[in-house]
Amino acid sequence: MTKVTKKLTCIECPKGCRLAVDVDNGKVVKVAGNECPKGEKYAISEIENPARILTSAVLSQGLALKMIPVRTDNPIPKSRIFEAMAEIKKIRVKKSLKTSDIIVENFMGLGVDLIATRKAK
């Protein structure tokens, strides 16, 4: 692979800056169009290691709230997202939770925790 320019949209804030990213052999060598440093960080991650915070909801059993909203506390590789959804579907929450309580530690061995984003009794 040689040098190419890729167009991305930064997703780190609602502005959605259009980024022009020069990529050489899979490595980012230059980022333009970002209005703040987060855009550069995003571009590097998006090209070299694309990742997203995954949000979803898991089923509860015996709690007043039927669906407990959850997220990974840090981004996980994009390529693992559907696998992660399959794992999330297997989970049943049976105990009361507070917001930010860990539902699965070291989720799928990815070094992130799956946490509750709402309290549930």
Partner 1 sequence: MIKKDLVIVGGGPGGMAASVSAYESGIKDILLLERDQYLGGILNQCVHTGFGLEHFKEVLTGPEYAERFIARLQDMPGIDVSLKSLAVKLTRDKTVTFLKPGVLQTVKAGAIIMATGCREKTREMVHIPGTRPSGVFSAGLAQKLINIEGLLPGKEVVVVGSGDIGLIMARRFTLEGAKVKAVIEIQDKPSGLLRNIAQCVEDFNIPMYFRHKISRIHGRDRVEKVSVVKVGDDLNEIPGSLFEIKCDTVLMSVGLIQENELIDASGIQIQGNNTDVPGIFVCGNALKIYDIVDWVTKDSFAAGKLAAEYIK
Closest distance of CB 14 from ligand SF4, Å: 7
Closest distance of CB 29 from ligand SF4, Å: 18
Closest distance of CB 16 from partner 1, Å: 3
Distance, CA of 40 to CA of 34 (rounded, Å): 7
Nearer to partner 1, 25 or 53 (CB): 53
Closest distance of CB 13 from ligand SF4, Å: 3
Q: Which one, of 71, 67, 81, 83, lies nearest residue 120 by Cα? A: 67
Q: Which residues bind ligand SF4 (CB under 6 A)?
A: 10, 12-13, 15-17, 34-36, 38-39
Does residue 3 contact residue 20 with C-beta atoms inside 8 Å? no
- Considering only residues 14 to 73 of the shown chain, the ones binding partner 1 according to CB under 8 A are 14, 16, 18, 52-53, 55-57, 59, 66-67, 69-71
Site for partner 1 contains 13 (CB under 8 A) = yes
- Contact footprint for partner 1 (CB under 8 A): 8-14, 16, 18, 52-53, 55-57, 59, 66-67, 69-71, 78, 81-82, 85, 99-100, 117-119
